[in-house]
Structure 1
Amino acid sequence: MTDVVGNVIKEIEEKNIKFIRLQFVDIHGTPKNIAVSLGKPEDIEDLFADGMLFDGSSVEGFVEIHESDLILKPDPETFSPLPWRPEESGAGRLICDIYTPEGEPFAGDPRSILKKSLKKLDEKGYSYNIGPEPEFFIIDQDDDGNYYPIDNGGYFDVEPVDQGTDFRRQLVMDLEKLGFELEGSHHEVAPGQNELAFKFDQALKTADAVITFKQAIKAIVDNIGYQVTFMPKPFFGENGSGMHCHQSLFKGSENLFSDPNSENGLSQEAMYFMGGILKHSAALSAIVAPTVNSYKRLVPGYEAPVYKAYGLKNRSALIRIPAARGKGTRIEYRCPDPSCNPYLAFAAMLEAGLDGLENKIDPGEPTEVNIYKLTEEDLKKREIGLIPSSLWEAYHALEEDPVIKGALGDHISEQFLKLKKAEWDEYRIQVFGYEQRKYIGI
């Protein structure tokens, strides 16, 4: 028994934890769990040693019924109590990796996919740090079942216009109990929209945190009597919710994206990494903006990226370079939204960036104008292309990109494409109220 496992067992006993949720995610990033009752101390020891068998055929994107047995093995580093559950419930949580009965990592486990990419990086002596900014709406429903935002606040507003102050304070306090380090919280641009920004951390820990963050926020706000949605574009005519991802590579304590002697403070590694993300941005869109609704956010006029370009401080570009330098030097990739599976999104972004490093992909010159105001002729002159404008375009781009498909592995890329094609087909045959209003008189 390792020291980490021993410490977890001691904490479970001290906090009188009686039920452990063994948590994992499906291909979409939706949390799943099995609750285990702890009758005696050796029960948790057995869990760490042997894991727990479960039926993988019942989880979308996992395995067929004839190969259903899979094993959950908890990661002791991920233990935490659940602050949104009553203290007397004695509930805790462990995030699990998934294995086959033969003891091999399961190829359909999103967490294992990210760990595989990070292992390649670790062999080079590097680490990959990410600080995501997931936005979300606090909403309610009227008597007819229609959703509406809980306030009419705007960017950085305060009470009484901002009705989310108490929610965010409760969220921050509960998330800190889970070990989160949050840089700040505030009302976002749209009515009812909020943001809590994560501190930079290693990618696996951050991906775990995003899943816990989304789960915790939904539970905490539900306890208060409202709902939270991470839907990218819940309301027509308002800004959608993104999850901008600040990222950099480190070697020990050295930020490899920093070069104080360069004109813009960015190293050649940072430039090549950006070049990789720009090159693979069409296929990446399918992973980081994975729903039909995602592309209703990615339109001009709502602070969402549309164009394949980067800029220093430029929020109209796909990649922005924040002003911080030194250890804070980073790139901000603005396409992701909070509906994505963070394990797959981070793995795909990393592999795209590494392709840029390995093949010295030049991102070109920065774009330092409001790209939304450029004409088609200007865009052509500057060689600025568009990212996909629909899920259909995005998943077709993914089909043609061996680097991003390789990041996911054969199992997940095949299952993911199958599910996205089905999602698009389901969407395209719907008839919406807008169409009836516009065309019923024909």
Structure 2
Amino acid sequence: MAAASHGLDRDRLAELGAVAAARLGQAGVELVALSFVDNSGVSRVKAVPVGRLAQAAAWGVGASNSFDFFLSTDTIASGTHSLGPVGDLRLHPDLDALTVLAAQPGWAWAPVLRYDQDGHPHPQDSRALAATAAARLADRGLSVRMAFELEWVVTDADEVPLPGPAYGYPRLSAHNDYLRAVVSALDSQQMDVEQIHPEYAAGQFELSIAPADPVRAADLAVLTRETVRAVTDAYGMRASFTPKFEPGGVGNGGHVHLSLWDGDRNLCAGGTGPFELTDTAASFGAGILGRLPALLAVGAPSVVSYLRLEPHHWAGVFTAWGLENRETPLRLIRGAAGQRDTAANLEVKSFDLTANPYLATAALLFAGEAGIAADAQLPDPVDVDPGTLSPAEATAAGVTRLPISLTEAITAFETDDVLPSAFGPQLATTLMDIRRAEVAELGSLEPAELCRVMRWRH
């Protein structure tokens, strides 16, 4: 008789784990990192020897409930649903996502799903929430393909950013071996790199991974960051994914690209709406645009996020959208003529890499699905920097400033009519409890000190 509980077929999981362990052993893997992303956007990890993988798959690995209340500074906050030091969860690796790590010889990685000791899904499991959001769209016959862009600053061992002009070939030339090593490691992990290049700020680089289904896209965001970090460390340098490396500088974004599909048809192209959006894709985009103030509590979830969200910095800080407009938080990218049926997508520019990518994924999908349900309409697109509009022009276009602080974003989330319910009362409450705790701990810091404290946390 199978040792099943609440949907966990433990005997079957043990069998699959043993097969996976044998495969990993043949590849020279000795240890498996099992990771999840906490509510503050930090990847937390336990690890098991490969010989224990079958046991971990069937019965999980213990982890405290308190991780739900960790701040990015490692302070453990209190909250409505906190159990303090009491209780235990079980981390079950997703064996389908097992990856041999090219930049960490002898290691493999797997994302986990969190259950309680009786086999019930943990209500604050962000990866499961992303899957739920995708399933709700699937019930409508729709799917989403997503990708995260990663930006990071590389410094020498003394924390001085690498020199070179913005987008400059000299920076690529000086560090071509490093960039090749990053791409080679990702290629070895069957991750499809679309492009990598120097970015605007000193030492800044950007990397784009090809789109995937929503949960896989979030997995890839986690794995890409840790691969970049490992390669950077191996070269005697440091990688910072913070939204603002230093006051006054250009920030690191975590832009999210989404295209909405009906079977094999991309609904972001070939329609009769603005710039050939279909009505369904336009409503999906309108759902996201209309909830951006609340979405920032998920996608720009740290105090330091709001140092990045400045006008005229291509971060998208006004309630506007446009075709290829890099100053709008919702940007329609059509792609080259002849390729738009596959390339067209919506880009959310105001998110950063302090966000938990699974929560960001879920929030965007819930918002877009709500837009479809309500037959929401996009306003007229904006074809200028919205920060240059006069007050009268902005009012006429319905353009307002997005939240300028995490406190404002918290209020927007809590008063939203969709997101708290979709996240569930326990997770929605806990998220805002720890956001307030971060404001209490970090909100009074001067920008230079805030940047210093947060520089290496994500």
TM-score, normalising length: structure 2: 0.87
CA–CA separation in structure 1 for the residues paired with 2:66 and 2:433: 16
1:437 corresponds in structure 2 to: none
> CA shift at 1:162, angstroms?
5.9
> CA shift at 1:323, angstroms?
2.4
Structure 2 counterpart of 1:240, from 211, 233, 251: 251
The answer as to 2:60 corresponding to 1:54 is no
Q: Secondary structure at the match of 2:118?
A: coil
Q: Cα deviations across residues 66-97 of structure 1 (Å, max 9, x unaligned)? A: 65121111111111122222x3xx32222110
Higher mean alpha-carbon deviation, 8-17 vs 164-173, is at 8-17
Q: Residue type of the partner of 1:131?
A: A
The answer as to 2:365 corresponding to 1:353 is no
The answer as to 2:163 corresponding to 1:151 is yes
The answer as to 2:149 corresponding to 1:133 is yes
Q: Secondary structure at the match of 1:367?
A: coil
CA–CA separation in structure 1 for the residues paired with 2:171 and 2:30: 42
* Native 8 Å contact 1:231 1:339 kept in 2: yes
The answer as to 2:41 corresponding to 1:19 is no
CA–CA separation in structure 2 for the residues paired with 1:423 and 1:135: 23
CA distance 1:432–1:153, change in 2 (3 Å): closer
1:73 corresponds in structure 2 to: 92
Q: Secondary structure at the match of 2:256?
A: strand
Structure 2 counterpart of 1:307, from 318, 322, 327: 318
1:439 corresponds in structure 2 to: none
Q: Residue type of the partner of 1:123?
A: D
Q: Residue type of the partner of 1:368?
A: D
Q: Residue type of the partner of 1:48?
A: A
1:440 corresponds in structure 2 to: none
* Native 8 Å contact 1:130 1:200 kept in 2: yes
Structure 1 counterpart of 2:114, from 76, 89, 98: 98
> CA shift at 1:368, angstroms?
1.3
Q: Residue type of the partner of 2:33?
A: R
Q: Secondary structure at the match of 1:201?
A: coil
CA distance 1:73–1:126, change in 2 (3 Å): same
Aligned pairs for 1:290-301 (under 5 A) are 290-301=301-312
CA distance 1:7–1:398, change in 2 (3 Å): same
Aligned pairs for 1:311-350 (under 5 A) are 311-324=322-335, 325-350=340-365
CA–CA separation in structure 2 for the residues paired with 1:399 and 1:160: 44
> CA shift at 1:361, angstroms?
1.1
Structure 2 counterpart of 1:381, from 392, 396, 409: 396
Unpaired runs of at least 5, structure 1: 435-442
Structure 2 counterpart of 1:222, from 226, 233, 237: 233
CA–CA separation in structure 1 for the residues paired with 2:448 and 2:227: 34
* Native 8 Å contact 1:152 1:162 kept in 2: no
Q: Secondary structure at the match of 1:315?
A: coil
CA distance 1:153–1:45, change in 2 (3 Å): same
TM-score, normalising length: structure 1: 0.89
2:417 corresponds in structure 1 to: 402
CA–CA separation in structure 1 for the residues paired with 2:448 and 2:191: 42
Q: Cα deviations across residues 257-315 of structure 1 (Å, max 9, x unaligned)? A: 32255562210011111111111110001111111111111111222211111111111
Structure of higher RCO (CA pairs closer than 8 Å, 6+ residues apart): 2
Higher mean alpha-carbon deviation, 401-410 vs 74-83, is at 401-410
The answer as to 2:188 corresponding to 1:172 is no
Q: Residue type of the partner of 1:77?
A: D
Higher mean alpha-carbon deviation, 290-299 vs 243-252, is at 243-252
CA–CA separation in structure 2 for the residues paired with 1:65 and 1:427: 22
1:32 corresponds in structure 2 to: 44
Q: Percent identity?
A: 28
* Native 8 Å contact 2:196 2:205 kept in 1: yes
CA–CA separation in structure 2 for the residues paired with 1:397 and 1:108: 21
Structure 1 counterpart of 2:219, from 205, 208, 216: 208
Structure 2 counterpart of 1:284, from 287, 291, 295: 295
CA distance 1:433–1:120, change in 2 (3 Å): closer
Q: Secondary structure at the match of 2:242?
A: coil
Higher mean alpha-carbon deviation, 232-241 vs 201-210, is at 232-241
The answer as to 2:193 corresponding to 1:182 is yes
CA distance 1:422–1:46, change in 2 (3 Å): closer
> CA shift at 1:50, angstroms?
2.5
> CA shift at 1:230, angstroms?
0.8
> CA shift at 1:420, angstroms?
1.1
* Native 8 Å contact 1:137 1:193 kept in 2: yes
Q: Residue type of the partner of 1:387?
A: L
Q: Cα deviations across residues 144-170 of structure 1 (Å, max 9, x unaligned)? A: xxx431113202x11257644332211
* Native 8 Å contact 1:154 1:162 kept in 2: no
1:45 corresponds in structure 2 to: 54
Q: Cα deviations across residues 94-148 of structure 1 (Å, max 9, x unaligned)? A: 2110001221110111111112212222233322211221111112354xxxx43
CA–CA separation in structure 1 for the residues paired with 2:85 and 2:348: 41
The answer as to 2:436 corresponding to 1:426 is no
CA–CA separation in structure 2 for the residues paired with 1:251 and 1:432: 45
Q: Secondary structure at the match of 1:219?
A: helix
CA–CA separation in structure 2 for the residues paired with 1:410 and 1:240: 33
The Cα RMSD (Å) is 2.2
Count matched residues: 423
* Native 8 Å contact 1:257 1:268 kept in 2: no
Q: Residue type of the partner of 2:406?
A: L
* Native 8 Å contact 1:238 1:302 kept in 2: no
* Native 8 Å contact 2:284 2:368 kept in 1: yes
